[in-house]
Structures are given as structure tokens and as C-alpha cells.
Amino acid sequence: MTTPPLITDSHCHLDFTDFEGELPDILARAAEAGVHRMVTICTRLRNEPGVRALAEANSQVFYAAGTHPMSAAEEPLATVDELIALTAHPKMIGIGETGLDYHYTAESMEIQKQSLRVHIEAAQRTGLPLIIHARAADNDMIDILSAEYRNAPYSCVMHCYCSGPELAQTCVDLGFYLSMSGIATFPKSQEVRDIFAAAPIEQILVETDSPYLAPVPRRGKRNEPAYTAYTADVGADVFGMDIADFAAQTESNFERLFSKVTTYKAAV
């Protein structure tokens, strides 16, 4: 049996109730598929202790924390100092997810923008990468990300990228990364695949966003980290690469962006 190449699921939500009571099996299936590492994302800061505990209990799990834009109006506004304090943990490797979502929550766009700027400042001050969710807000995303980068550079990944080509190009030009999710495997997602194909391979990551957006051939099922392998297979096709080479490149990209992972590995 051929050993699968090592892959990192750069964005999942292991604390969600969809996975309750099943985590050991989920992690075992991930390992069998070659998914040796994952970043679980805290979307409401009040849940950070539980997400942190998941990372502490499982060697292959790292985490990030922030306030999701769709929750920005329901949660207390995070402070820069609060976010910075969380980064003291050795397995807390990113800021977010944050961003703008005008598809479902356009009524809260002003507080979303305020929250986004708080998260950007935390990323600027800590050097940790920002994790961005963007939906139906391309123009404002371009304006805010560009303006804040001019104020002080920072690193960033546009998670589950499925926005337009102009936002993608702006992010690539700023040195940001685009993360490929199961959406890129859907038959009707050729525009998304074309956007990825036009980006430098050195700025590409893969993810599940599980439990959501399961890739083909698991579409319609609950997603889980093991399925990153299906998205990576499609990514390899998009870039005309062998899967082993594509996996190795995205691993290198992940460790370049989330460099705190390599510090943790060295300490361990």
C-alpha cells in the first residue's frame, strides 16, 4: 500500500458539536489519509479555552482564535491586547478567523469592519498570520486589507477562497496566501479553480473548513480533516503537479506562513 503524502488541514473546527465524542476516530482517519497536522479555529473568544484544550491534548492539533464576522454583532468586541495575550500559548499560531461577510450579515457591516481592524492590528503587533473569511464584500476587503498593510505589513491567509479574481490578485500582490477548500472540487467551481491556477503555487494552502463544505466525492456529507486529501488531489491537477510535489509545496507554504509551528516543533 502506498503511503499518502503528508498534508496539513490549515482550517477546521474540531470543537463544533458535529464532532462531539468522535475526535479520536477523526484524528485516526486523518492520519491514515496523510493529514498529519491541522489548525482548529476558534470563532468566538469565549470558546477559546475549549479550543486551546483540544490543541493541548493532541500533538497534531494547533489552533487560532478570533471573532468570526458573522458573530461580530453578537459577541463583545475583542481588544488588541486580549488577542495578543492569547498568542502567548505555544500552540496558538494565528489571529482569526475574522473578516467580512455581507452575504448573511450585511446589517452588521460596520461592527465587522471595526472587529477586522482590531484583528489586523493584533497580527501586525505579534507577527502571527491573520486568517480571513470574506464573502460578498470584495471591495471593502480590498480597501481595508490594502490600507492596513500600508500602515504596517502583516501576513495573511484568505481561507476557503471563493471570492472574485480582483480580491485574489490584490491579496497575492500583498504576499498573502489563498487557501483551497472543498469548493474547488465542485463541478461548477471552474472560476474558483481558474483563480487558484493564476496564483503562485508558493502562496497556496489546503483546508477543509470542516465540518462544512465536504469535497467531491464526499459532497453532502459531514466534512472532516481526512478529506483534505481530496482537495489536495484537485489542487495538484489545477497546478499540473504530481500529488506528492503539490503536497510538499503546500507543506512548505504552511510552515512559512504559520512559522510558529516550526518553533514549536523545535522546542518539542
The count of C-alpha atoms lying within 13 angstroms of the C-alpha of 185, restricted to the half-sphere facing its C-beta, is 23
CA gap 179, 159 in Å, rounded: 5
**2 falls within a domain:** no
- For residue 264, what pLDDT is reported? 87
Count of structural domains, the chain: 1
- The total number of residues shown for the chain amounts to 268
**42 falls within a domain:** yes
**Residue-range definition of the domain harbouring residue 185:** 7-260
**204 falls within a domain:** yes
**77 falls within a domain:** yes
Residues of the chain scoring pLDDT < 50: none
- For residue 1, what pLDDT is reported? 62
**1 falls within a domain:** no
**266 falls within a domain:** no
**183 falls within a domain:** yes
Nearest to 40 by CA among 267, 252, 224, 227: 224
CA gap 135, 161 in Å, rounded: 9
- Dihedral of CA atoms 200, 183, 210, 59 in degrees, nearest 10, equals -20
Cell 469565549 belongs to which residue?
46
The neighbour count for residue 251, using CB atoms within 10 Å, is 18
CA gap 172, 170 in Å, rounded: 6
Cell 475549549 belongs to which residue?
50
**248 falls within a domain:** yes
CA gap 156, 132 in Å, rounded: 7
- For residue 54, what pLDDT is reported? 97
- H helices within the chain, ranges in order? 23-32, 48-57, 80-86, 109-126, 138-151, 165-173, 190-197, 228-238, 243-257, 260-267
- For residue 162, what pLDDT is reported? 96
- For residue 198, what pLDDT is reported? 98
- For residue 265, what pLDDT is reported? 77
**Sheet with 92-101: strands ordered across:** 7-12, 35-42, 61-65, 92-101, 130-135, 156-158, 177-180, 204-206
Nearest to 144 by CA among 167, 161, 169, 178: 167
CATH code of 79's domain: 3.20.20.140
